[in-house]
A and B are shown apart, each in its own frame.
Chain A
Amino acid sequence: MGMMLLLLGWNNSLAQNGKLIFTPHWIPQAQFAGYYVAVDQGFYKDNGLDVDIVHSTANIASLDLLKNGDADIVSSFMLDAIEQRANGVPLVNIGQLSQHSSLMIVTKRKSGIDTYQKLHTKKLGIWSNGFEDVPLAFMQEHGIKMDLIRILQTVNLFLMDGVDALLVMYYNEYDQINNCGIDEDELNTFFFSDFNLDIPEDGIYCMEESLKSKGSAYAGFLKATLKGWEYASEHREYALDLVIGEMNKAHLPNNRVHQRWMLEKVLAMMEPGKKKVMKGQLLKLDFERAMEVFKMAKGTQGYQTFGYEQFYHPSAKGLK
C-alpha cells in the first residue's frame, strides 16, 4: 500500500579527495537529467570529482540529508532552502539553475473557475511537504482565501473532483493530468509567474562551513553540472535514455513522453527569459522577492533573518 521503501546506499564518510555525494531533491526524473548526463559524460571526472548521486524521496527531503551530513551537496527548491536557513541551518546557495517558477494552479474548465478571483473559497489540493509559500503569498497578495487540502503526490483527487483546484508543477503534474486523458483545453491555468511570483526554484546547496574545505570542488561541480545540462539540452533523447535508466533502476513507473515534457520544461526554466541573469546565478532581486514570499507565507516569528550575501555564495565566479 503505497509503501515505497527507499533502499539508499548510505555513506556516512564524507567525501575526501574529490568524492562528493549529491542528492537531488526528488526521485529520479528528467528534472535531474543534467546531473545524469554530467556523470555519464564524465564531466565531473574531468573536474577531478567522483560524484555519487543519491536520491531523496517524498519521505526524506534532500535538505535533511544535507543537514544530517549524509550528502555533501544537494539540489533544492529555493524557498525550502530559505526556510531551512531561517530555521538556522547554515546552508548556502552555490548555484541557481532554475530562474523561473513552474508552479501553477489548474482548475477544470467545466468548474467555471476561469479567473483567479473565482479561486476564492475553493478547495485547493496542495502538497503536504512544501511548495506552499508561493501559493500562500499569492492568496495573501490577492486577498483570496482557499480551502487547502493537503495531499501526498498524485493528481487523482483532482481528477476525481475531490478538489476544485490543484497546485502543480508545469513540468510535472500538469502533464500528468494531460496524460490521464484531460486535454489541455479542458483546463484553466494560473501560472504564478504571471502574478509577479516568478520565484526561481531548483538550486544547488551545501553547508556553509564545507565551503572552506570543498569550495573548489563545488565550483567544479557547478561547472560540470551546467555543462551536463547544456549537453542534455543538445542531446535530449540521450539524456532521456539516462533518465529512464535511472527510473528503472529505482523501480519507478516511467514513460518517455512525460519525461520528455519534463526535460523540455526544466530546460526552459533555466533560460534567462526576461531576466538579466547568467547561467547558475541567483539574482539579488529574485532572492529578495523570495524572502518576501517566505515572510508572507510563514511570517517572521521565530525565524532568523539573513541577506542575499549570506545565502548566495557563487562558487564559480564569472559564470556564463
Chain B
Amino acid sequence: MNRNRLSFKIIVRVLLFCFILGGSIFTIYYLFARKTIERESRENAIHLAESTVYKIEEIINPAEMIPGNLAWIIENNTLSRDSIYAFLRQLVRNNKSVFAAAIAFEPYLFSQERYAFAPYAYRSGDEILNRDLWSPAYNYFIMDWYQIPALLRKPYWSEPYFDEGGGGVLMTTYSVPFYTNTNNSRVFTGIITIDISLEWLTEIVNSVKIFETGYAFLISGNGVYVTHPNASHIMNQTIFTYAKEVNEPVIREIGRDMIGGESKLSNVNLKEMGNVWIYHTKIPSSKWSLGVVYPHREMYAGLRSLNIMIFLLSVMALTLLTIVTIRIINRQIRPLSRFAKAARNIAGGNFDTELPVVEENHEMKELHDSFRYMQEELANYIADLKETTSAKEKIESELRIARGIQIDMIPHIFPPFPNLPEIGLYASLESATEVGGDLYDFFPIGDDHFCFAIGDVSGKGVPASLFMAVTITLIRSMSDKNRSCSEIVQSVNKTLTINNESNMFVTLFVGILNLQTGELQYCNAGHNPPVLLNCDREPLMFRNTKAIPVGIFGEIDYCNETMILDPSDQIFLYTDGITEAEDADKNLFGEAALMKALTENRDKSPKELTDRVKQSVKEFVNGHMQSDDITMMCITYRGKNGNKIK
C-alpha cells in the first residue's frame, strides 16, 4: 500500500489510536487485576493461616484442658492415691488425641517414704499400660518437661520429639504444674503431663495447598520445623539453620518474628522461589508459629495466562480491525480516486466522463453531486465559451479586415512622391485599438500644390474608425484646385454635422502648400497646433486658431491662415496621442517634452524625426499601455525643385 495514500494514513492513525487505547486499557486492567490478586492473595494467606491455626487449636484446646482439670482434681483431693493409675489409664483411653499422661511428684511429696514417683499411663498398641517413670537412669527432675514448668511455675509445651516408645511418632508434651494444700498453704507438688501425637497436626498443615509450590509450615518455639513439605527439615532443621544453610538472612528475621509470637505478612525475595508472601501467625496454645508461603510467580500465574489470552485476542482483534478498517476505508474512499481520475478526464475535455457511482447519502454523495454540477457547468461554460470565442474571433477577424481597409485608406508608402523633389514626407499612425479614429492624408493638387491633412476623431474603436473613414473620404472628395483649406474644412464640417446624433466630432488640420512659392495655406479645426521646424531656428508652434472641431455645428465659418515656408522648413503634425501619452503614474508626455524632442532632432529627416519622437514617447511611457492612437506626420519643404536638399 502506498504510504502517501489517504487510506493508509487513516488506517495507521486509527490503528495507532486503537493500539494506544487498547494498551492503556490493558495496562489499567493489568495493574488493577494485579492489585486485586495481590490483595486477595494477601487476604487468602492470612485467612488460610488463621483458619489452619483454628483447626489446630480445635484439637489442641480440649487436650490442653486435661492437665489443668487434673491439677484441679488433685489440688482438691478428689483423686484417691490408690486409683491414680486407673484414673490415668481412663484418661488416656477417653482422649484420643492423648498418647500418654503422667503425674510426676516433687521429691517426697507423694509420700514421705518415696523420693520420686511419676505414675504414667500410655498407649501400647491397642492396650493402655501404666508404670512409674522414675528410675535412677530416668531422673525426671532434670527433664525439660518437668524442670521447665516446675522452675517457671507455668504450663510448658515441650519441643517436639520423636518418641521411640510411641513408635517413633512425632510428639509433644504439655506440662502443667499442680499444687496441693498442706497446712493451709498451697505447695507446688509436681507436674501433670500429657503426650500428644502430632501426626494429625502434620496432616492438617500438610493439607494446606497453595498453588503449585506454595506451602504451609509449622515451627516450634525454638524454631524447629514441626511440619514442612520437605520432610528432611522436620526436627532436623530449625528455621534458623535453614536460613543459614540457604544463606537467606531474611528467613532468620522472619523466624525471629515467628518465635516472638508475631503475626505478620512479609514480602520477601528468596533465591529458590523468587518473590513470595510469607504470612505467619502464632498458635496461641503452644506458642508455636504457623507460616504460609505464597509464591508470587504462581499467585500471578492465572493473571499471566489471562494476559497471554488477552494478548492473543488483542492481536486477533487488531488484525481483524485492520482488515475491516482497510476494507471499509478503501470502500469509502475508493470513489475519491475515481473522482480524481474523472476530474482528470473532464479536465482533458471529456465532459461525458462517467462519475463513480455513490449510493449512500453522505459526504461522498455530496462530492458526487458537486462533481456532477461542476461537470455540467463546465460543459455549459465551455460551450458558451466556444460560442463567445467564435463570435469574438469573428469580430476580431472583421476588425482585422476593417483595419486593413482603414490602413489602406491612408497613404503608407514612403517616400510617397519621388517625382516631387520639393517635398520630403513621412507619416505614421499607430492605433491603440484594432481600428482607430486618427487620420492623415496628403495628395498633390494640380502640378504645384500639395494638400495634407491630419485629424483625430473623438472616441475610439469602430465608431471612431467609421467616422474617420467618412472624414477622410470627405477630405479627398472636397479637395480640388478651387477650394481653399477653409472651404474644404467647412464642406467636410457641413456634411459631417448632418445626422450626427452621436455628436462625434473630428479635430482636423488641413494645409495646402504651394510648392513653387512655399506659401502654406492652412485651416485648423480644433486640432493640436503643428510645429514649424528649421535647423536654424527654435521650433515654433502654430498659433492656436480657437476653431472648433468639425461635425459639431454645421453653420460655422472656418478661417484660412497663411504663412511662407523657407526651403528646409519642416512642419511637424501630430495628434493628442503624443502630448497625452501617459506613463504608469498618469503623467502626460506634454507639449514641452514634445518640443524638446523636436528641438533635439530638428536637423533630421522626416522619418528619422518621427521615429525619434516616437522613441521619446516610448521611453516616457516606459511600457505603459498606449491608450490613444498616435499619429505623426512630418513634411519637409525643400524649396522649389528641391534645390536645397539636405
Chain A residues packing against B (C-beta within 8 Å):
1-5, 59, 128, 149-152, 154, 156-157, 159-163, 178-181, 183, 251, 253-258
A3 adjacent to B163 (CB under 8 Å): yes
CB distance from B249 to the nearest CB of A (A): 11
B245 adjacent to A162 (CB under 8 Å): no
A251 adjacent to B137 (CB under 8 Å): no
**A–B Cβ pairs within 8 angstroms, 11 of them:** A128-B139, A128-B142, A160-B156, A180-B222, A180-B238, A181-B238, A181-B252, A181-B256, A257-B237, A257-B244, A258-B241
Q: How many residues of B contact A (CB 8 A)?
A: 46
B142 adjacent to A179 (CB under 8 Å): no
CB distance from A301 to the nearest CB of B (A): 24
| Cα distance, A179 to B162, chains bound together (Å) | 19
| Cα distance, A161 to B259, chains bound together (Å) | 15
B148 adjacent to A156 (CB under 8 Å): yes
CB distance from B39 to the nearest CB of A (A): 31
Known: A179-B240, A255-B236. A2 touches B152 (CB 8 A): no
- Which of chain B's residues have a CB closer than 8 A to the CB of A181? 222-223, 238-240, 252, 255-256, 259
Residue in contact with A162 in the complex, picked from B145, B147, B236, B256, CB distance below 8 Å: B147
B185-206 residues with Cβ-Cβ distance < 8 A to A are: 193, 195
A3 adjacent to B238 (CB under 8 Å): no
CB distance from B121 to the nearest CB of A (A): 12
CB distance from A177 to the nearest CB of B (A): 10
| Cα distance, A33 to B145, chains bound together (Å) | 31
CB distance from B22 to the nearest CB of A (A): 51
| Cα distance, A161 to B161, chains bound together (Å) | 21
Known: A1-B165, A178-B240. A157 touches B133 (CB 8 A): no
Known: A1-B133, A149-B151, A162-B152. A256 touches B145 (CB 8 A): no
Chain B residues packing against A (C-beta within 8 Å):
100, 102, 120, 133, 137-139, 142-145, 147-148, 151-152, 156, 158-159, 161-165, 168, 171, 173, 193, 195, 221-224, 235-242, 244-245, 252, 255-256, 259
B240 adjacent to A3 (CB under 8 Å): no
- Which of chain A's residues have a CB closer than 8 A to the CB of B221? 159
CB distance from A38 to the nearest CB of B (A): 26
Known: A181-B252, A251-B164, A253-B235. A1 touches B244 (CB 8 A): no
- Which of chain A's residues have a CB closer than 8 A to the CB of B142? 128, 150-152
| Given A253-B224, A257-B242: 16 more A-B contacts, CB < 8 Å | A1-B165, A2-B145, A151-B142, A154-B144, A154-B159, A157-B147, A162-B148, A178-B240, A179-B240, A180-B240, A180-B259, A181-B238, A183-B256, A251-B162, A251-B168, A255-B236
Most buried by A among B144, B224, B239: B144
B223 adjacent to A3 (CB under 8 Å): no
CB distance from A242 to the nearest CB of B (A): 17
CB distance from B134 to the nearest CB of A (A): 12
| Cα distance, A183 to B256, chains bound together (Å) | 9
- Which of chain B's residues have a CB closer than 8 A to the CB of A183? 256
- Which of chain A's residues have a CB closer than 8 A to the CB of B120? 1
Known: A1-B100, A59-B137, A180-B238. A255 touches B144 (CB 8 A): no
Taking CB as reference atom, which chain B residue is nearest A152?
A: B142
B163 adjacent to A1 (CB under 8 Å): yes
| Cα distance, A178 to B249, chains bound together (Å) | 13
| Cα distance, A181 to B133, chains bound together (Å) | 33
The 5 closest A-B pairs by CB, nearest first: A257-B241, A180-B222, A162-B151, A253-B235, A152-B142
A179 adjacent to B241 (CB under 8 Å): yes
